[in-house]
Amino acid sequence: MTDRQAVLGLLDGRPLPRAELDRRLAVLRDGPRASALPRPGSAEDRQLTRWVAQVVLTEELCAAEAVARGLDPGAVAPVRLDQRAAVELGSIAAAAFEGSAAVRAVFEAVTAEVVASPGPALDHETMEIWQLSTPDGDFDADPATLPTVLAQDLLAAGPGRPVTVGPWTATLTGRKPAPAPPDRSTELLDCARRIAFVRWLDRARAERLTLVPGLEHPGDPAQPDNHHRH
């Protein structure tokens, strides 16, 4: 029988030693931010242990997957995630992604064929900006942002003719095409890839990892330290 006190978890039924978890916790507790860590033995400290354990398990899972796929993690460059990417991956996957080349290699492999869904189509040819002159100064405006009756009367009057509608007085002095909207294709693709990776990772964890008591996922509602205080 395996001594579960010395086991981080089981990957494909194979026990993983707890040594790497203990090493990382020791580094944290001896590091410059040790004073900010929860008190040893507290519920928060046990949650920290669970969180670090899940990071290590994620790295071990992806290391095994990289071997199975014949990937070369050494060819994958280090990455520092921005805040949006970290939130979309979740804190555990984000930490593993930044800390492990194997995780990044598997990310590239499992999301290589992901295609982003296009955003809503806009007919840019019909979009324009109006140049307006008013008693308070000149400015450019999207006609859709103007009061409807004012926009209608300015269009009917044409350029150079002052229009007064209620409290508004303005002259349409020119019209020009609206600037092209920014290209968000890369942003949308990156987001879609992160979503796809999280789905793959959640499925792989459920199918291949067996957690041990005390090292459950910190968000597992069944473990005793997952509770909210009000």
- If asked whether residues 16 and 89 sit together in one domain, one would say yes
Query: Considering the domain boundaries, does residue 221 fall inside one?
Result: no
> How many angstroms separate the CA atoms of 33 and 169, rounded?
61
- If asked whether residues 67 and 10 sit together in one domain, one would say yes
Using the 8-state DSSP alphabet, how is residue 143 labeled? G
Which residues are within 8 A (CB) of 74 and not within 5 positions of it... i.e. 6 or more apart? 101
Q: Looking at the predicted structure, is the pLDDT value of residue 76 above 60? A: yes
- If asked whether residues 100 and 145 sit together in one domain, one would say no
User: How confident is the model over 130-177, as pLDDT tens digits?
Assistant: 999 998 889 998 888 888 889 999 999 999 999 998 888 899 999 998
- Torsion region of 90: left, alpha or beta (phi above 0 gives left; psi -120 to 50 gives alpha): left
The whole-model pTM stands at 0.74
Quickly count helices (H) and strands (E) in the chain: 7, 7
Query: How many CB atoms lie under 10 A from the CB of residue 85?
Result: 17
- Closest listed residue to residue 143, CA positions, set 120, 166, 169, 177: 177
User: How confident is the model over 91-123, as pLDDT tens digits?
Assistant: 999 999 999 999 999 999 999 999 987 655 544
- If asked whether residues 189 and 168 sit together in one domain, one would say no
Quick one: pLDDT band at residue 224, thresholds 50, 70, 90?
confident
> How many angstroms separate the CA atoms of 189 and 175, rounded?
35
Beta strands, E only, the chain: 7-11, 14-17, 128-134, 137-141, 162-165, 168-177, 209-211
- If asked whether residues 98 and 29 sit together in one domain, one would say yes
Domain that holds residue 139: 129-176
Quick one: pLDDT band at residue 226, thresholds 50, 70, 90?
confident
